[in-house]
């Protein structure tokens, strides 16, 4: 009886190994499928937002403005443009940035390196969704679409820190409302539905409080501290309860019930240039705020993959009170080759 059981065990091991090594390639030589890179960055500093009329924003009442978000989005967008050039790929970038985007930071507490001269200043939810829809309409299966978000986030605390497995709801991006001086909530579920309409590979990065809501439970390694009634068997035999998109790769700054934080320069009491997550991300991408500084630190053997990028950021985000979450399991993708 032992021999058949051993053979069965070996067969299962081979199958699992084959699944775990799945990469998205176009050719047997390992060349990436990607031919074009679409880049959309959203950085909202809430410079003219009153946060009036809603109790939802009480947690941010002492610090309604965010000082590093515009710089976050600017530098991440420039970094991915540089990576596309280094890889010989066509790219196009769209910058949705808060109103205080000037290079000198006049009237604000930071200076933006390589400021974008004419950014899109419409930070409303409707416009954000409109731009995602435009990308979806023009995208192809050979595209990599990078969406980076840096803004306030909101979490419905009634969900608790152990949501029912597969049903972590109540997490949102806080976008501007139509009036420009108030805000509205863009649910992570709606956001992911909008992103799902984009063809090709989607890479979603969020330096936002409670941003773990963009990482669906089916993508992560689950333990008992993460979700209610989570069992290992669910990951393998109950996938019908989880919406899994093999072309979607997400990396968030924090768990869905955690806040994320901006880096504070020890020499300047209130000079915040980036989120802690974004600082690690830019370092991983090989961008120093002014130029591409050589091979990305997260690259291995001339390739930057999602899993290597996520591993580097989670190990180097430098803030213990936030825990990055990212897509896991068998899928990985080569984002750039050098």
Query: How far apart (Å, rounded) are the C-alpha atoms in residues 300 and 295?
Result: 9
In this predicted structure, the answer to whether residue 165 has a pLDDT above a threshold of 90 is no
Mean local confidence (pLDDT), 205-222: 76
Half-sphere exposure for 209 (CA within 13 Å, toward CB): 18
| Per-residue exposure over 49-65, b if at least 16 CB sit within 10 Å of its own CB, e if not | bebeeeeebeebeeeeb
Higher pLDDT, 24 or 110: 110
Q: What is the pLDDT of residue 114?
A: 80
In this predicted structure, the answer to whether residue 43 has a pLDDT above a threshold of 50 is yes
Mean local confidence (pLDDT), 199-206: 96
Cβ atoms within 10 Å, residue 94: 17
Q: What is the pLDDT of residue 76?
A: 96
Mean local confidence (pLDDT), 141-148: 97
**Mean pLDDT (the chain, rounded):** 77
Q: What is the pLDDT of residue 332?
A: 87
Report pLDDT digits (tens) over 109-120.
Answer: 556 778 888 889
Query: How far apart (Å, rounded) are the C-alpha atoms in residues 335 and 193?
Result: 22
| Per-residue exposure over 105-134, b if at least 16 CB sit within 10 Å of its own CB, e if not | beebebebeebbeebbeebbbebbbebbee
Q: For residue 333, report the phi and psi dihedrals to the nearest 5 degrees.
A: -150, 140
In this predicted structure, the answer to whether residue 335 has a pLDDT above a threshold of 60 is yes
Chain-centre distance for alpha carbon 317: 14
Query: How far apart (Å, rounded) are the C-alpha atoms in residues 160 and 293?
Result: 42
Among the ranges given (19-33, 140-154, 237-251, 259-273), the one the predictor scored with the smallest mean pLDDT: 19-33
| Per-residue exposure over 272-296, b if at least 16 CB sit within 10 Å of its own CB, e if not | bbbbbbbbbbbbbbbbebeebeeeb
Q: Which range, 15-29, 34-48, 249-263, has the best average confidence (pLDDT)?
A: 34-48
Q: Report the candidate in 256, 78, 68 with the shortest Cα–Cα distance to residue 151.
A: 68
Q: Report the candidate in 82, 206, 89, 211 with the shortest Cα–Cα distance to residue 150.
A: 206
Banded pLDDT at 75 (limits 50, 70, 90):
very high
Q: What is the pLDDT of residue 79?
A: 96
Residue indicated by tokens 């419905």: 156
In this predicted structure, the answer to whether residue 137 has a pLDDT above a threshold of 90 is yes
Query: How far apart (Å, rounded) are the C-alpha atoms in residues 45 and 63?
Result: 11
Residue indicated by tokens 């999602």: 306
Mean local confidence (pLDDT), 277-286: 93
Query: How far apart (Å, rounded) are the C-alpha atoms in residues 182 and 180?
Result: 6
In this predicted structure, the answer to whether residue 192 has a pLDDT above a threshold of 70 is yes
Report pLDDT digits (tens) over 80-106.
Answer: 999 999 999 999 999 999 865 555 555
Q: What is the pLDDT of residue 15?
A: 43
Report pLDDT digits (tens) over 306-329.
Answer: 999 999 999 998 777 888 888 755
Tokens in use for 334? 């080569």
Query: How far apart (Å, rounded) are the C-alpha atoms in residues 279 and 209?
Result: 16
Mean local confidence (pLDDT), 283-294: 85
Question: Would you say 219 and 328 are in contact if contact means Cβ atoms under 8 Å apart?
Answer: yes
Q: What is the pLDDT of residue 129?
A: 97
């Amino acid at each position: 009886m032992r021999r058949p059981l051993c053979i069965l065990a070996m067969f299962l091991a081979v199958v699992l190994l084959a699944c775990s090594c799945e990469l998205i390639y176009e050719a047997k030589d390992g060349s990436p499928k990607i031919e074009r890179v679409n880049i959309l960055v959203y950085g909202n500093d809430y410079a003219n937002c009153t946060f009036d009329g809603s109790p939802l924003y009480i947690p941010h009442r002492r610090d309604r403005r965010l000082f590093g978000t515009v710089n976050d989005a600017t530098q991440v967008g420039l970094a991915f443009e540089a990576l596309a050039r280094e890889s010989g790929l066509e790219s196009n970038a769209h910058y949705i940035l808060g109103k205080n985007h000037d290079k000198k930071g006049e009237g604000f507490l930071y200076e933006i390196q390589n400021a974008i001269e004419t950014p899109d200043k419409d930070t409303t939810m409707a416009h954000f969704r409109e731009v995602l829809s435009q990308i979806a309409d023009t995208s192809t299966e050979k595209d990599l679409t990078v969406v980076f978000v840096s803004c306030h986030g909101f979490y419905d605390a009634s969900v608790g820190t152990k949501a029912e497995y597969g049903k972590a709801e109540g997490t949102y991006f806080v976008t501007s409302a139509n009036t420009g001086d108030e805000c509205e909530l863009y649910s992570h579920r709606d956001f992911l539905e909008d992103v799902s309409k984009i063809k090709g590979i989607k890479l979603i990065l969020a330096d936002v409080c409670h941003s773990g809501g963009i990482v669906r439970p089916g993508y992560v390694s689950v333990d008992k501290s993460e979700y209610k009634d989570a069992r290992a068997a669910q990951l393998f035999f109950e996938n019908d309860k989880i919406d899994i998109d093999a072309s979607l790769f997400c990396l968030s700054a924090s768990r869905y019930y955690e806040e994320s934080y901006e880096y504070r320069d020890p020499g300047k009491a209130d000079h915040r240039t980036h989120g802690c997550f974004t600082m690690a991300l830019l370092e991983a991408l090989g961008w120093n705020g002014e130029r591409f500084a050589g091979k990305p630190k997260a690259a291995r053997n001339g390739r930057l993959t999602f899993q290597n990028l996520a591993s580097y950021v989670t190990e180097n985000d430098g803030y213990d009170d936030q825990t990055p979450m990212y897509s896991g399991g068998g899928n990985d993708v080569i984002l750039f080759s050098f």
